[in-house]
Amino acid sequence: MRNRFKLEILLVAGTLSLGVTRTLTAAENPREIMRRAEEIRAPQSSEMKVKLDTVNTGKSSSYTMKVLASTGRRSYSEFLAPAEERGRRMLALGRNYFSTLPDSKRVVPISRRELIGNSAFAVADLFQIDTEKEYEPKIVGTETIENAPATKLELTAISDDAPYAKIHYFVRPADSFPVRAQFYGISGKLLKTLTMTSKRELAGAIRPDKLRMDDNVTTGKFSVWNTLSMTKKNIPERVFTREYLQTQQ
């Protein structure tokens, strides 16, 4: 009788435990993993100067840009070179993107899928990924990248106008460092692969300073994103308005 009573207690305890929802730790929560990795890659409240070099079937191009980022996925970017692009400005306000032309004060909406010049980087690639509103992240495994384990996240678009239908994002769990991203179209085809090729201290933390984007559709085309400088900085609110774009012309 005593043994039967103990067995019944164990069965009841086990049944109750199945109904308990365990709170995920930061290392297990895909949204938290994504948030930390993106803050390392593209921090909010910062000013950057970047150089974007592209090789495409033997031809090359180069752009230099200033990028100002704020909270709420707002960003302002300005082309400094080459001469034919100097003066062009772009503004990201959440899902809405706008641009001016070098010789015009007119502000026009642009697609986030639009490429930066002839590079492999789209306008959306400049800024942070919005997993809260546009992607549903989940952990799908672990892979070894550069002799270290990386958590593999699968981000599935929940918004029709998301830049990509699916993204595989690889994050090193030891320090939340982003090491690779693969971008897929709606057909499931691999479009581009982003690889963090080097790192150094920027804005008080170790961050990627060179990123290579390989175009998996156009053979031989790739772009290298080189962060020349980065500082943490509170950018005035007036910068992130369409009116500011016009007044800077």
- Which CATH number fits the domain that encloses residue 169? 2.50.20.10
Confidence of residue 239 (pLDDT cuts 50, 70, 90): very high
Mean pLDDT lowest among 19-23, 123-127, 148-152, 171-175: 19-23
In a domain, 16, yes or no: no
The residues facing 63 across adjacent strands are 52
Higher pLDDT, 166 or 118: 166
Q: What is the mean pLDDT of residues 123-127?
A: 86
Q: Is 19 within a domain?
A: no
Give the DSSP per-residue string, the chain.
Answer: -HHHHHHHHHHHHHHHHHTPPPPPPTTT-HHHHHHHHHHHHS-SSEEEEEEEEEEETTEEEEEEEEEEEETTTEEEEEEEESTTTTT-EEEEETTEEEEEETTEEEEEEE-TT-BSTTSS-BGGGGS---TTTTEEEEEEEEEEETTEEEEEEEEEE-STT-S-SEEEEEEETTTTEEEEEEEE-TTS-EEEEEEEEEEEEETTEEEEEEEEEEESSSTT-EEEEEEEEEEE----GGGGSHHHHHHT-
In a domain, 134, yes or no: yes
Domain contains 220 = yes
Please report whether residue 13 resides in a domain. Answer: no
Overall domain count for the chain: 1
- For the stretch 12-26, pLDDT in tens is 444 434 444 555 576
Domain assignment of residue 194, yes or no? yes
The pLDDT of 89-106, averaged and rounded, is 86
pTM, two decimal places: 0.85
The angle subtended at Cα 195 by Cα 24 and Cα 175, nearest 5°, is 35
- Does residue 246 have a pLDDT over 90? no
The pair of structure tokens assigned to 149 is 């384990």
Q: What pLDDT sits at residue 17?
A: 44
Assigned domain for 159 exists: yes
Domain that holds residue 191: 24-247
Position 8 scores a pLDDT of: 47
Longest CA–CA span in the chain (Å) reads 91
Each residue of 195-225: pLDDT tens digit? Answer: 999 999 999 999 999 999 999 999 999 999 9
pLDDT score of 9 more than 70: no
User: What is the pLDDT confidence band of residue 65, given thresholds at 50, 70 and 90?
Assistant: very high
Q: CA 183, CA 112: separation in Å to the nearest integer? A: 14
The span from the CA of 31 to the CA of 247, in Å, is 38
> Is residue 85 situated within a structural domain?
yes
- The more confidently predicted of residues 7 and 167 is 167
- Other C-beta atoms closer than 10 Å to the C-beta of 90 total 21
